[in-house]
Chains A and B, each alone.
Chain A
Amino acid sequence: MGSLEVNLPVIIVVGISLVVGLLMVVVFRYTSDQKAIHIAKDRLKAHLLALKLFQDQIPIVIRSYGCIVMATGHYLRLAFKPLLFVIVPLTFLMLQLDRYLGSVPLEAGHAFLVKVRMDSPETLNEVSLQLPKGLATTAPAIHIPSESEVVWRVVAEEAGDYMVDVQASGQTFSKRMVVGSGLSRLSSVRLRGKFWERMFVSGESALPDNSLIEAIDVQYPSRNMPFAGFEWNWIWLFFVLSLASGFVFKSILGIEI
């Protein structure tokens, strides 16, 4: 059972990579100009072969190299259109996966940092941290005026899903922190405003616009997963496996990429 838990993230990444590999090549098939891509790739190969066939003729070699650069540009341009269709949904999918697979929860008994960034250094003294039962600070708060930040060192006594309150100028804002093991949806930072940044790095609701606090941040450790004798960041494993899956499916389905 323990072993299954340990491998669950790997299983998820493998499964998703296979599905994404298949879906993405199918989407690529229907959103790209397959014929044009086929021709562009063939031209590239032809110019490469020309380097070998006419290697004694330096002007031809130079011209062929120029053709290769041009043909590569053309090929990338053709791949750009399907990229438009693919990149947005895939990016949002990967962002969501990153919430689960990118980091591991905090470990009970090990200290971690909670950072609060204010909108100006003058307000640092107005911030306080209220911890729920099971969490405790291990040192006094440190003020870093140059960064407009206050940092607490915190330790969790036991695993759990905690809400930490941060008070500033009479306002109270909470931030979720997960202590334990296994798969959880983790958000390392809660942000004020900054819609696109929140979209990409935060999994929590925004702090109010009138808040003095810009961000509440908890540093979750990165997750590494064992696969094929190596430790992988999930994104690299996904990259390799989805490429492999795409390669297999494109060959089976006769799709030109």
Chain B
Amino acid sequence: MKWGTSSRAERGRLLACLAVLSIVLLSPLPSQAYAGPGAGFAVLSSFWTLFVAFLYSAYAFFAWPFRQLFRLLRRRKTYGKATIKRAVILGFDGMDPELTERFIAEGRLPNLAKLREQGTFRKLRTTFPPISPVAWSTFMTGVNPGKHNIYDFLGRDLSNYLPYLSSAEIKGPKRSWKLGKYTIPLGGPRIRGMRRGTPFWHWLGEAGIFCSVIRVPVTFPPEKFPGVLLSGMCVPDLKGSQGTFCLCTTRLRGDKFREGGVQVPIERAESWCTSYVPGPDDPLTNGSGNELRVSFEIHPDNHGRQARFKVNLESFTLEVGEYSEWIPVKFKAGFGFSAHGICRFYLKELSPEIEVYVTPVNIDPGRPDLPISQPATYAIYLAKLFGPYATLGLAEDTWALNEEVLDDQAFLAQCYANHDDRERMLFDALEKTQQGLCACVFDTTDRVQHMFWRYLDEDHPAAQDVPPAQRPTVIQDLYARMDELIGRVMQQIDEGTLLMVVSDHGFKSFARCVNLNAWLHQNGYLVLKSRRTESGDWFEDVDWSRTRAYTMGLNGLYLNLKGREREGVVEPGTEADALKDELRRKLDGLVDPASGRAGITGIFDCDAVYAGPYVDNAPDLIVGYGDGFRASWDSVMGKVTSQIFEDNLKAWSGDHCIDPRLVPGVLFCNHKISDEKPAIVDVAPTILKLFGLALPVHFDGKSWTVTPSGTP
């Protein structure tokens, strides 16, 4: 009864409002036809939108036959010899075949089990080394690293032994104008992709086959081709790094983390606090290191449970343990120069101290300051359709969990938020690509396994204080979630669609660290300056005049070669070959004295595993670590320590940068594939062949024999 009364009253009010509005709107004078700028904008922009849309639709309709004719004249007989209408490739970075089989056997992955039954399941041979940028580059180009030039995340600068990002180089603008103490950039930054080779979707696009490619690693900077592509792994953040998070805190603990993050103080005012988000260097001060910043305010409530944030014009409230949505931040540099980014805030703690974690500032996909898609409007299209999304290549902040700035739950929440965005993009691409290629890579599988393997490995040193019964089933849940996604994709595809689920490599435990630089030092191959027993990062205190070999990055071992390295001492040719043999002999089967297990199960000569024009850039030897081992954190950063083997106590507890024979990827397909030992290098030629295209002669991969699952 009460509800009825209230409803009648509400209805009465509504009717009164409608009556007044109707009278106002229906009266005849022009002065009542306009209800302020709001209505004016709404009506004008709606009309304009419809008008433009109509024009464009009409153009698309009328131009379509001419475009088809143009294609025909260029002899691009689209789908002429194709045996499939559409190929859908789901890339699950790091999905492990052994775990997959185990979870299938446990009944956790019904959709993958169905794919295995009706189609194909194989282990997919990976690359030397089995690192994502290397393997995905091979996936897309169909060639070995000697032809695509990606051997690791990092390359080394031969002039100073310092690292650089191997996939892309970003430099300032070519020209600038000096104005007093300011340097006005004339033009945008110069970005050069370092990956060579041609992705197979370029061949498809040229043949008139539409391709949607989403977040495949090493696609930054995006290359032009007739299709749409959103760049993946290796897209930098707004600072130009591969992800620098920020911890704003009232605790003072120094201003930097070892890797991946910075600390910023929170200043307390009367009832609120202020801090800032560090941004890129000021482009007007020409590399002087002046950092641009965006200030923000934190207004805690009286109970210490939630706080109101004010960032630029945005205002939002967070409870402790809650993430904000993506917040736009604009870094102003003066003279109208600015950089647009997005970041998320996570309220860690409000009492007694205040701590706020801020994700790396991603390039704003709605206003990208660097090219992150092909065409540039594709990133904007996705941002407008689904809202802002992570653009950083390594968007899941593993460093923050490693440094214990985030806890497990906060990290997982971040991962799955990014994953949900990716899913939306995939399903939109599936809808938009009814014919052609739709390829999407999901990184969640890789990041979650890296960070949570400790709960899967009973003896992992990083989880010894967590009893087996209390260990969360994060990885099991991850695989189940991916399986459920595959199920939804299977519902979207028809018989003419080839569905392929691939991973670039598998996964193993990373329980023990191997500092190969320490081994090289202790065995006289790497020499430190007098009286030093350890070096700093990036070979600080290394005596290059007496050093014959060194390692940096994840799997590469380099000779200090005369004429190549700045202070090289090893003569190329016989001496170098002999040194390689000697190192191979000594390192292959290197035993961890603590466990008695082999820390290294294979050392591979670059001349044996690579062929192509860029072999000179490859490490001289590829180190294949054993199951349970990986290069130590220090060794990766070019540091010599006194210990060769040590426990890995970090949350980053699973890895794949080991002997490639131990970590193959997965290959599932809804069609039958007859080949018994497929490799990731075969994907590109297989797809081209299925679409009826001739294979480029430089391909290293071979196309598989694929038959529809119903065919006997």
Interface residues of A in 1-52 (CB under 8 A from B): 20-21, 24-25, 27-28, 32, 39, 41-52
**Is B30 on the interface with A (CB-CB < 8 A)?**
yes
Contact A76 B36 (CB under 8 A): no
Contact A83 B38 (CB under 8 A): yes
Contact A51 B56 (CB under 8 A): yes
**Is A53 on the interface with B (CB-CB < 8 A)?**
yes
* CB contact between A91 and one of B32, B45, B49, B61 (< 8 Å): that residue: B32
**A246-B38 contact, Cβ under 8 Å, with A48-B52, A91-B31:** yes
Q: Which residue of B lies closest to A17 (CB)?
A: B37
Interface residues of B in 343-392 (CB under 8 A from A): 366, 375, 377-378, 380-385, 387
Contacts of B67 in A (CB 8 A): 56
Q: How far is the CA of A50 from the CA of B210 in the complex (A)?
A: 14
Interface of B, helix, strand, loop or mixed by DSSP = helix
**Is B60 on the interface with A (CB-CB < 8 A)?**
yes
**Is A75 on the interface with B (CB-CB < 8 A)?**
yes
Contact A68 B36 (CB under 8 A): no
Interface centre among B38, B45, B378 (most CB of A within 10 A): B38
Contacts of A225 in B (CB 8 A): none
Contacts of A42 in B (CB 8 A): 366, 383-385, 387
**Is B21 on the interface with A (CB-CB < 8 A)?**
yes
**A57-B432 contact, Cβ under 8 Å, with A65-B57, A201-B29:** yes
Min distance, Cβ A213 to any Cβ of chain B, angstroms: 22
Min distance, Cβ A141 to any Cβ of chain B, angstroms: 29
Contacts of B617 in A (CB 8 A): none
Kindly specify which of A119-127, A174-182, A235-243 makes contact with the partner chain.
Answer: A235-243
Contacts of A58 in B (CB 8 A): 60-61, 64
Contact A72 B434 (CB under 8 A): no
Q: How far is the CA of A20 from the CA of B31 in the complex (A)?
A: 14
**Is A159 on the interface with B (CB-CB < 8 A)?**
no
Min distance, Cβ A185 to any Cβ of chain B, angstroms: 15
Contacts of A91 in B (CB 8 A): 24, 31-32, 35
Contact A242 B35 (CB under 8 A): no
**A24-B378 contact, Cβ under 8 Å, with A75-B46, A87-B24:** no
Q: Which residue of A lies closest to B20 (CB)?
A: A88
* B 571-607 to A, binary, CB cutoff 8 A, 1 in contact else 0: 0000000000000000000000000000000000000
Interface centre among B20, B49, B383 (most CB of A within 10 A): B49
Min distance, Cβ A111 to any Cβ of chain B, angstroms: 26
Contacts of A62 in B (CB 8 A): 57
Number of A-B contacts (CB under 8 A): 169
* B 67-94 to A, binary, CB cutoff 8 A, 1 in contact else 0: 1000000000000000000000000000
Q: Which residue of B lies closest to A23 (CB)?
A: B36
Kindly specify which of A94-102, A130-138, A145-153, A161-169 makes contact with the partner chain.
Answer: A94-102
The count of chain A contact residues (Cβ–Cβ below 8 Å) is 67
Min distance, Cβ B482 to any Cβ of chain A, angstroms: 27
* CB contact between B49 and one of A48, A57, A245, A257 (< 8 Å): that residue: A48
Contact A254 B38 (CB under 8 A): no
Contact A86 B60 (CB under 8 A): no
Contact B31 A24 (CB under 8 A): no
Contact A59 B31 (CB under 8 A): no
Q: How far is the CA of A153 from the CA of B34 in the complex (A)?
A: 35
Min distance, Cβ A124 to any Cβ of chain B, angstroms: 27
Q: In which size bucket is the chain B interface? A: 35 or more
Min distance, Cβ A121 to any Cβ of chain B, angstroms: 25
**Is B694 on the interface with A (CB-CB < 8 A)?**
no
**A254-B36 contact, Cβ under 8 Å, with A46-B381, A55-B60, A75-B42:** no
Q: How far is the CA of A245 from the CA of B30 in the complex (A)?
A: 20
**Is B179 on the interface with A (CB-CB < 8 A)?**
no
Q: How far is the CA of A235 from the CA of B35 in the complex (A)?
A: 11
Min distance, Cβ A55 to any Cβ of chain B, angstroms: 5
Interface centre among B36, B40, B380 (most CB of A within 10 A): B36
Contacts of A200 in B (CB 8 A): 27, 29, 32
**Is A90 on the interface with B (CB-CB < 8 A)?**
yes
Q: How far is the CA of A141 from the CA of B152 in the complex (A)?
A: 101
Interface centre among A47, A64, A243 (most CB of B within 10 A): A243
**Is A61 on the interface with B (CB-CB < 8 A)?**
yes
**Is A196 on the interface with B (CB-CB < 8 A)?**
yes
Q: Which residue of A lies closest to B78 (CB)?
A: A56
Contact A254 B313 (CB under 8 A): yes
**Is A228 on the interface with B (CB-CB < 8 A)?**
no
Interface centre among B27, B67, B228 (most CB of A within 10 A): B27
**Is A60 on the interface with B (CB-CB < 8 A)?**
yes
Q: Which residue of A lies closest to B381 (CB)?
A: A49
Min distance, Cβ B471 to any Cβ of chain A, angstroms: 40
**Is B17 on the interface with A (CB-CB < 8 A)?**
yes
Q: How far is the CA of A115 from the CA of B382 in the complex (A)?
A: 64
Contact B53 A49 (CB under 8 A): no
**A83-B35 contact, Cβ under 8 Å, with A57-B210, A72-B50:** yes
Q: How far is the CA of A25 from the CA of B96 in the complex (A)?
A: 55
Q: How far is the CA of A246 from the CA of B31 in the complex (A)?
A: 18
Contacts of A68 in B (CB 8 A): 49-50, 53
Q: How far is the CA of A246 from the CA of B375 in the complex (A)?
A: 33
**Is B41 on the interface with A (CB-CB < 8 A)?**
yes
Q: How far is the CA of A198 from the CA of B407 in the complex (A)?
A: 69
* CB contact between A28 and one of B20, B25, B38, B387 (< 8 Å): that residue: B38
Q: Which residue of A lies closest to B312 (CB)?
A: A254
Interface centre among A21, A48, A201 (most CB of B within 10 A): A48
Contacts of B52 in A (CB 8 A): 48
**Is A54 on the interface with B (CB-CB < 8 A)?**
yes
Contact B381 A53 (CB under 8 A): yes
**Is A173 on the interface with B (CB-CB < 8 A)?**
no
Contact B53 A86 (CB under 8 A): no
Contact B37 A87 (CB under 8 A): no
Min distance, Cβ B26 to any Cβ of chain A, angstroms: 10
Q: Which residue of B lies closest to A95 (CB)?
A: B31
**Is B23 on the interface with A (CB-CB < 8 A)?**
yes
Contacts of B40 in A (CB 8 A): 239, 242-243, 246
**A48-B37 contact, Cβ under 8 Å, with A57-B210, A84-B21:** no
**Is A82 on the interface with B (CB-CB < 8 A)?**
yes
Q: How far is the CA of A32 from the CA of B42 in the complex (A)?
A: 12
Contact A76 B38 (CB under 8 A): no
Q: How far is the CA of A76 from the CA of B39 in the complex (A)?
A: 9
**Is B272 on the interface with A (CB-CB < 8 A)?**
no
**A76-B41 contact, Cβ under 8 Å, with A86-B36, A87-B35, A90-B36:** no
* B 603-639 to A, binary, CB cutoff 8 A, 1 in contact else 0: 0000000000000000000000000000000000000
Contacts of A90 in B (CB 8 A): 35-36
Min distance, Cβ A53 to any Cβ of chain B, angstroms: 6
**Is B54 on the interface with A (CB-CB < 8 A)?**
yes
Interface residues of A in 204-257 (CB under 8 A from B): 233, 235, 238-239, 242-243, 245-247, 250, 253-254, 257
Min distance, Cβ B302 to any Cβ of chain A, angstroms: 26
Min distance, Cβ A7 to any Cβ of chain B, angstroms: 22
Q: How far is the CA of A65 from the CA of B58 in the complex (A)?
A: 10
**Is A69 on the interface with B (CB-CB < 8 A)?**
yes
Q: Which residue of B lies closest to A38 (CB)?
A: B387
**Is A79 on the interface with B (CB-CB < 8 A)?**
yes
* CB contact between A44 and one of B23, B38, B49 (< 8 Å): that residue: B49
Interface centre among A62, A200, A201 (most CB of B within 10 A): A200
Contacts of A69 in B (CB 8 A): 50
Contacts of A235 in B (CB 8 A): 30-31, 34
Q: How far is the CA of A93 from the CA of B518 in the complex (A)?
A: 82
Contact B37 A243 (CB under 8 A): yes
Contacts of B35 in A (CB 8 A): 83, 86-87, 90-91
Across the A-B interface, give the 6 residue pairs with the lowest CB-CB distance, nearest first: A246-B37, A46-B384, A46-B385, A254-B313, A24-B36, A79-B42
Q: List 14 A-B contacts (CB under 8 A).
A: A27-B36, A45-B380, A49-B381, A49-B384, A52-B56, A65-B53, A76-B46, A83-B42, A87-B36, A97-B31, A98-B29, A98-B31, A238-B34, A242-B40
List 7 other contacts, CB 8 Å, given A56-B64, A58-B64. A20-B36, A27-B38, A56-B210, A83-B38, A83-B42, A84-B21, A257-B42
